[in-house]
């Protein structure tokens, strides 16, 4: 695999000097266009042999371009705040927003590759790590990110020469550490591991480029040129798409621009409608919505379970077990009431309720999962997501804010995200609190009468009722795709508020008890 990168590629200094000013100029112009368009981020990953000049090349790129719109990151030992969250939290929090460039040295590849080379993990575990990487990178590229990966290569003798040369020069000797020489001794293991990593993670949208690392001029020009071409191409594509949307469709010369735009945006919705026309039984129709509980039993059970939960949460805090609860459901289903019954016995220092409505502008400038990653708490806390990452496959699907292609792939993205939560020992419970359409109407009418609840009721709530059937189907599909053994959905029959609250709090207690018994 690496033979082609051991042929002694180089570029003469004179040639380099001739090419750089133009390349630099083009990169600066592109950076500006990228920023103005603000439609996608550019993520560049550097990996490879020590001494192959990853750092040098990244520094040069920062010099060539405007460093204000570049984020450069390298990762060492995680901080304690990072250790208390899933491994990828540190990468998510550094991802560049749309319009900017992120250069990642020692990225998500470092830990798995080094663990494998040092023999800390077995091959199957290593393959699992690579699968996680593929899923992560897919998540980014599917949402539009330009993702480039450069593997800087040196042959074993070349690496030795390079390390020796760096050591000899007093200006660079600090760069060579014992660790570098240790790695050189593991060269063969390293190359074998690298080969497997590259094979597994070189995908159509996130391919690896192997770069011969011996010559600074060669590798820098090569990397710079590829970054330029990739950004150029994507910007041109984006511009073409915009133009198409603004021009009449070729096959319908009389169609107005607005119609065309609507047609494109509404593709997802159209296919939903097709499904709707053949009514089907959803998972929700199987719920026994008449379930209820009498007032006396409710009080008793609520008290018992709140005491139980309070104790469990204290234990979880001590044992650093984090809990995440997700609440979804139609308007007025009683999510808020259910949430309050959970939080009231708890210590306010250790829980947080996060409501999710429209994203802020900083959130809109990132992948849609970013806003959920950023709020992951430190270890031992309980966080309640009042609406969540499921918005993409519920409201965004039904209202046509996300294309069919987008919400369909969201299932896999969500499963992968939740996998990471569970892997880092987080207790995850997801509740769909359901009510019937009739019950919702009753509650809406009631809300109109209570002054401090009236604000909760908007025009939109009434409009959403019209799409009841579509929402039911979206829930059906959601449960089908995302209810897994480790992260099952709990469907809650919510027509009787008391019944729903008890079911929710009991489920939370059970899940916590189970996890704590393992500790």
- Taking CB under 8 A as the binding criterion, the range among 37-45, 53-61, 223-231, 440-448 that sits at the site for its own copies is 53-61
Q: What is the closest distance, in whole angstroms, from the C-beta atom of residue 393 to its own copies in the complex?
A: 23
Residues 332-371 within binding reach of its own copies (CB under 8 A): 336, 339-340, 343-344, 346-349, 351-355, 360-362
Residues in the chain: 519
Which residue lies nearer to its own copies by CB, 213 or 268? 213
Specify the pairing of strand 351-355 against strand 382-386: parallel
Give the one residue of 103, 117, 428, 491 binding its own copies; rule: CB under 8 A.
103
In Å, how far from its chain's centre is CA 421? 12
**481-487 contacts: CB < 8 A, separation 24 or more?**
481/393, 481/411, 481/415, 482/390, 482/393, 482/411, 482/414, 482/415, 482/418, 482/430, 483/430, 484/415, 484/418, 486/418, 486/419, 486/422, 486/428, 487/415, 487/418, 487/419, 487/421, 487/422, 487/428, 487/430
Residue 314 found at the interface with its own copies (CB under 8 A): yes
Residue 58 found at the interface with its own copies (CB under 8 A): yes
Which residue lies nearer to its own copies by CB, 67 or 207? 67
Specify the pairing of strand 70-74 against strand 208-212: unpaired
> Which among 416, 482, 24, 497 is positioned nearest to 221, based on CA atoms?
24
Give the one residue of 171, 258, 281, 485 binding its own copies; rule: CB under 8 A.
171
Give the one residue of 157, 173, 174, 460 binding its own copies; rule: CB under 8 A.
174
Residues 443-502 within binding reach of its own copies (CB under 8 A): 451-452, 455
Which residue lies nearer to its own copies by CB, 267 or 347? 347
Burial class (CB in 10 A: 0-12, 13-18, 19+), 44: buried
Give the one residue of 9, 19, 62, 436 binding its own copies; rule: CB under 8 A.
62
> Which among 486, 484, 506, 375 is positioned nearest to 424, based on CA atoms?
486
- Taking CB under 8 A as the binding criterion, the range among 21-29, 159-167, 206-214, 433-441 that sits at the site for its own copies is 21-29
Residues 394-453 within binding reach of its own copies (CB under 8 A): 451-452
Residue 167: CA count within 13 A, CB half-sphere: 11
Residue 246 found at the interface with its own copies (CB under 8 A): no
CA-CA distance, 355 to 205, in Å (whole number)? 34
How far is CA 88 from each of CA 38, 49, 93, 389, 415, rounded to the nearest angstrom? 24, 23, 9, 17, 15
- Taking CB under 8 A as the binding criterion, the range among 74-82, 140-148, 218-226, 466-474 that sits at the site for its own copies is 74-82
Q: What is the closest distance, in whole angstroms, from the C-beta atom of residue 384 to its own copies in the complex?
A: 8
Close Cβ partners of 411 (under 8 Å, ≥ 6 residues apart): 393, 478, 481, 482
Which residue lies nearer to its own copies by CB, 228 or 397? 228
Residue 278 found at the interface with its own copies (CB under 8 A): no
Give the one residue of 66, 131, 195, 237 binding its own copies; rule: CB under 8 A.
66
Which residue lies nearer to its own copies by CB, 360 or 517? 360
| Contacting residues toward its own copies, per CB under 8 A | 25, 28-29, 32, 36, 55, 58-59, 61-63, 66-74, 79-81, 103, 105, 171, 174, 307, 314, 336, 339-340, 343-344, 346-349, 351-355, 360-362, 378, 386, 451-452, 455
């Amino acid at each position: 695999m690496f033979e082609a990168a051991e042929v002694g590629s180089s570029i003469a200094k004179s040639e380099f000097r001739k090419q750089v000013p133009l390349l630099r100029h083009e990169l600066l112009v592109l950076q500006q266009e990228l920023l103005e368009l603000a439609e996608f981020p550019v993520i560049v990953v550097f990996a490879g042999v020590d001494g192959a000049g990853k750092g040098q090349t990244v520094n040069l790129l920062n010099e060539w371009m405007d460093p204000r719109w570049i984020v450069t990151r390298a990762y060492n030992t995680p901080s304690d705040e990072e250790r208390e969250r899933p491994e990828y939290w540190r990468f998510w929090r550094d991802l560049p927003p749309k319009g900017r460039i992120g250069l990642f040295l020692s990225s998500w590849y470092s830990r798995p590759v080094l663990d494998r080379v040092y023999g800390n993990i077995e091959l199957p575990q290593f393959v699992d790590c690579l699968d996680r990487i593929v899923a992560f990178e897919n998540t980014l590229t599917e949402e539009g990110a330009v993702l480039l990966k450069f593997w800087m290569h040196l042959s074993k003798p070349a690496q030795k020469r390079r390390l020796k040369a760096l050591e000899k020069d007093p200006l660079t000797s600090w760069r060579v550490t014992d660790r570098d020489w240790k790695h050189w001794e593991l060269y063969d293991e390293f190359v074998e591991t690298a080969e497997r990593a590259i094979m597994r993670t070189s995908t159509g949208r996130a391919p690896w480029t192997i770069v011969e690392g011996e010559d600074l001029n060669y590798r820098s020009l090569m990397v710079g040129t590829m970054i330029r071409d990739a950004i150029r191409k994507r910007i041109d594509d984006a511009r073409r798409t915009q133009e198409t949307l603004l021009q009449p469709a070729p096959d319908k010369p009389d169609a107005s621009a607005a119609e065309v735009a609507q047609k494109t945006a509404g593709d997802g919705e159209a296919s939903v409608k097709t499904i709707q026309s053949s009514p089907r039984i959803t998972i929700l129709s199987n719920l026994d919505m008449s379930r209820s509980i009498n007032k006396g039993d409710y009080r008793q059970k609520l008290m018992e379970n709140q005491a139980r939960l309070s104790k469990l949460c204290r234990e979880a805090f001590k044992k650093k077990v984090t809990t995440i609860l997700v609440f979804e459901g139609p308007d007025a289903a009683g999510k808020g009431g259910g949430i309050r019954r959970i939080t009231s016995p708890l210590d306010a220092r250790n829980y947080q309720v996060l409501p999710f409505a429209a994203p802020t502008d900083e959130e809109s400038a990132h992948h849609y999962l970013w806003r959920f990653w950023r709020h992951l708490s430190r270890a031992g806390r309980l966080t309640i997501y009042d609406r969540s990452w499921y918005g993409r496959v519920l409201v965004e699907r039904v209202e046509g804010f996300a294309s069919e292609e987008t919400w369909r792939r969201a299932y896999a993205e969500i499963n992968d995200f939740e996998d990471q939560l569970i892997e880092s020992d987080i207790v995850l419970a997801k509740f769909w609190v359901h009510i019937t359409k009739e019950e919702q109407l009753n509650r809406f009418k009631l809300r109109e009468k209570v002054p401090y609840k009236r604000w909760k009721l908007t025009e939109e709530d009434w409009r959403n009722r019209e799409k009841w059937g579509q929402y039911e189907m979206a829930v059906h599909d959601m449960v089908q795709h995302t209810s897994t053994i480790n992260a099952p959905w709990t469907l809650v029959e919510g027509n009787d508020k008391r019944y729903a609250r008890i079911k929710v709090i009991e489920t939370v207690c059970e899940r916590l008890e189970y996890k704590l018994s393992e500790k």
